[in-house]
Amino acid sequence: MIEEISIRDLGVIGRATLPLGPGFTAVTGETGAGKTMVVSALGLLLGQRADGGAVRQGSPQAVVDGRWSVPDDGAVAERVRDAGGDIDDGELFVSRIVSSEGRSRAVVGGRSAPVGVLGDLAEHLVAVHGQSEQIRLKSSSAQRHAVDAHGGAELAATSAEYRRAYDDWQLAARELAEITGDRDARLAEAEALRAAIDEIVAVDPQPGEDDELEATAERLSNAEDLRLAAGLAHEVLSTDSVDGTRDVVTLVDEARRQIERVSRHDPELASIADLLTEVSVQVSETSSRLSSYLGSLDADVSRELESVQERRALLAQLVRKHGPSLAEVIDLVSTGSARLVELDGDDDRVAQLADDVEASHAEARRLAAKLTELRRASGDDLARRVSAELSALAMTGAELVVAVTERDELGGSGADHLEFLLKPHSGSEARPLGKGASGGELSRIMLAIEVVMAASSDVPTFVFDEVDSGVGGSSAIEIGRRLAMLAERSQVIVVTHLAQVAAFATNHLRVVKDATGSVTASSVQQLTGDERVAEMARLLSGLPDSESGLEHARELLDLAASDGSTRAGRPVDSRS
């Protein structure tokens, strides 16, 4: 339930606070005073699209704050906490700030949150009805939703079961159509995969082989330069030359012997002798490795290079055809084999899918028939109850008919077509709401549906934006009565221009326009006593000070108070 809404710089409203609370709140005011801004403000708190043009002229931003009374557990509290906010002693604080440039941000439970969170909360907090809802009431989907909601738990469970069966059927049917429709393409894919895998397996590439072959080819292509350099290095380090040239090994050994011969005279020379010993060992080892390296180059280099280049060409061909890398070529053997198993199993899969399609279609058809039966029962009961309400709303003899017609094809919501029809009077032909009901009649039909369904609804607040449009006289009084009845179970907020409706409110707010400044500004007043009587007189005659108008207003308030006393079994002060 909404306890309070505060508005700042929204439309023509400069600053206003709306004390709401339980029961029936009526919002009235002169044309252009900004009554609909109250609904717009609530819409912003419920996540509706923000419009920078709604910010009051000359103000940088509009701010709307809302205070809700909500349980500490349940769907609302859970969503608030998921968004990082909190419920404070059963109260939820929500804010929406809209800049004049159209940017918007939201605060939920004390924490900034995406505007989408407000939309998630809206379905659990408030049901808003206005002229657009009257239009929506003409749509088949909205009518089906009303019948399904009225049908209770069994219809809701059957609808959910049907949707699962329908989705299973659609999924299996799509997969079957895909396989059978692409049979030629899948056969061609399997043939190409087999050829590719056979070609790769025949070559048998190994991970990293292309890099190794590249290095080998580089070495073999420069074998002569390598042999010459290695030979000269080996000759310098260690040689058996007869021309008297001494190699490095000989020179290092001679240096070591000379140092060892005199090292006893100076201990520092001993460490130098040790270093020369290490150098001698390293030079000898290097000479030995060069000798081995030269031996490895003695093979038939040209023949080996040719073999390496042929292997590289084979690998390059595989990469060009199945690449872009050798690793992916090798991986194709495993992934392609798995895909082949899938493609080769098409016949078995087709048979299985055909069985699945038949079974899921049969189940969906069975549940659709049950759903149609439940909708007929729900529709008949809803029509009977709404028709009774219409009689009380000064549409005597009018009858709502809920026609549920079976169809051959299955759809997402079942195998039926549902339509609301209206018989304006006894013996008349039932016609679709869009053709057989005026705007005022649509208002009363919608209100009748809400009154009937309120008992099973878990939405705590109903907001009606000029739901009484096109209605007057005794019909308006009956609308006021029904709104008061609805307010016994839920919070009801009504923006109205009819005194007959406002008279039944337990909380009366007036939007007051002040045009003394350069820019029109509006505020909100809570009316009691004589102020309320004067506003009622203005609504009735346009003359708040007319004695006859004031007397008529008092009579209307007394009528509403008496009506309320009868329902509640206790006296009600209609002017408080």
- Residue located via tokens 């800049």: 99
Run of H or E residues at 29: strand 24-29
> What pLDDT, on the 0 to 100 scale, is given for residue 436?
63
- Residue located via tokens 């609808």: 159
Contact predicate 5/64, CB 8 Å: yes
> What pLDDT, on the 0 to 100 scale, is given for residue 565?
62
DSSP 310-376: HHHHHHHHHHHHH-SSHHHHHHHHHHHHHHHHHHHTHHHHHHHHHHHHHHHHHHHHHHHHHHHHHHH
> What pLDDT, on the 0 to 100 scale, is given for residue 575?
38
Q: Which of 21, 32, 154, 102 is nearest to 511 (CA)?
A: 32
pLDDT digits (tens, 9 = 90+) for 185-204: 777 777 888 888 888 888 89
C-alpha span between 135 and 459 (Å, rounded): 21
C-alpha span between 164 and 451 (Å, rounded): 32
C-alpha span between 478 and 472 (Å, rounded): 10
> What pLDDT, on the 0 to 100 scale, is given for residue 572?
38
Contacts of 330 (CB under 8 A, 6+ apart): 200, 205, 206, 207
CA atoms within 13 A on the CB side of 169: 22
Q: How big is the CA angle at 439 (ends 434 and 445), to the nearest 5 degrees?
A: 75
> What pLDDT, on the 0 to 100 scale, is given for residue 574?
38
In angstroms, the Cα distances linking 146 to 139, 141, 433 are 11, 9, 14
pTM for this prediction: 0.61
> What pLDDT, on the 0 to 100 scale, is given for residue 35?
78
> What pLDDT, on the 0 to 100 scale, is given for residue 507?
95
Q: Which of 427, 476, 418 is nearest to 447 (CA)?
A: 476
- Residue located via tokens 């190794």: 212
For residue 145, the one-letter residue type is: H
Q: How many C-beta neighbours within 10 Å does residue 53 have?
A: 10
CA atoms within 13 A on the CB side of 227: 12
10-residue mean pLDDT series, the chain (576 residues): 92 88 90 78 88 86 93 87 89 93 90 90 80 65 87 92 94 84 71 86 89 83 77 76 66 84 82 86 86 72 80 89 88 85 70 87 95 95 90 82 92 92 85 73 77 74 76 78 87 90 93 67 86 91 83 90 65 38
Map out the domains of the chain with their CATH numbers.
Answer: 1-128+440-450+459-527 (3.40.50.300), 188-343 (no CATH)
Residue 305 tokens read as 């290079």
What sign for the dihedral angle of Cα 185, 186, 187, 193?
A: positive
> What pLDDT, on the 0 to 100 scale, is given for residue 570?
42
Question: How is the chain split among helix, strand and coil, in percent rounded to 5?
Answer: 60, 20, 25
> What pLDDT, on the 0 to 100 scale, is given for residue 393?
78
> What pLDDT, on the 0 to 100 scale, is given for residue 471?
67
Q: How big is the CA angle at 494 (ends 522 and 440), to the nearest 5 degrees?
A: 115
Q: How many residues does the chain have?
A: 576
> What pLDDT, on the 0 to 100 scale, is given for residue 353?
81
pLDDT digits (tens, 9 = 90+) for 460-514: 888 887 666 666 777 788 888 888 988 888 899 998 889 999 999 999 999 888 7
**Which residues are registered as beta bridge partners of 2?**
68
